[in-house]
Amino acid sequence: MASNVFHIGGDLTVRRLGFGAMRLPTEPGPAREASLAVARRAVELGVTLIDTAHLYGGGANEELLAEALYPYADGLLITTKVGVARSGPSSEWRLDGRPDVLRLQVEHALRRLRVDRLELLQLHRIDPEVPLTDQLGALRELQSEGKIGRIGLSEVTVAELDEARQIIDVVSVQNRYSLVDREHEPVLAACEAADIAFLPWRPVAGAASGATAEIAAVAAELGAAPAQVSLAWLLDHSPVILPIPGTARIDHLEENVAAERLRLTPAHRERLDRLPQHP
């Protein structure tokens, strides 16, 4: 049976089933109060990995998490991402991996999250218009300054991961991946070979609604929800997978966290492994 914990970079221990904060509303009012309650409940349930990003509200999501959870519980990792900014003539969101932009977003994240060091910082996307050595070099400098503990990537190919590993020590990769969307299986295999954490986003795509009949059938046989089956499959599929399902509802959060205890039989795994893929 696979372990329920993973050591990111070999020394940062987290429970493998995390929480993605992207869906939490941040505007003032009842929705924000509900978001604060969800974040706090996640930690009460033992979640130790929470994912956010500068892109999520231009830092508003980071501020929300700090309001909900600061001072942070021992062992809680809030990881954030940089590299997408409002820039250009119309100030639309776009990839921006210029070193000064990355540095500024890291400084803002430190302030918003109320920490002196980001234990795990991920590059949200590689900017094709900026040399990779410049982008990762900027993060490596911030790491040497003590403002970043470890560096990860998001939405990369195997070739990009290999290139990045020539420049920095990559400890995590965050790519789109789920039971019914395994386009990045080669990237997962590369991460597994190097003991790099693989954080799938949209981890229950195609399952939360029970749209996939076979997932729904397995769920019914196990007395579980389709999303729980999808998360259990991910946890079972590779020891480096750290799913980060997101929700703005406490009941969905509790259901997701309970998936950690769901056990699939070999027959169930075989049926799920054969599912058609829908990227």
Single-letter amino acid code for the residue at 40 = R
CB 161 within 8 A of CB 190: yes
Closest CA to 142 of 123, 164, 162: 123
Among 56, 70, 72, 177, the one annotated catalytic: 56
Q: What are phi and psi of 134, to 5 degrees?
A: -70, -45
Q: Is 70 a catalytic residue?
A: no
Give the whole-angstrom CA distance, residue 230 versus residue 211. Answer: 12
Give the whole-angstrom CA distance, residue 160 versus residue 55. Answer: 22
Owner of token pair 């990839």? 95
Strand-pairing partners, residue 174, are: 154
Q: 42: part of which helix (H) or strand (E)?
A: helix 30-44
Establish how many alpha carbons lie within 13 A of residue 232's alpha carbon, considering only the half-sphere containing its beta carbon: 24
CB-count exposure of residue 155 (10 Å: 0-12, 13-18, 19+): middle
- CA-based torsion, 116, 62, 54, 8: positive or negative: positive
Known catalytic residues are 56
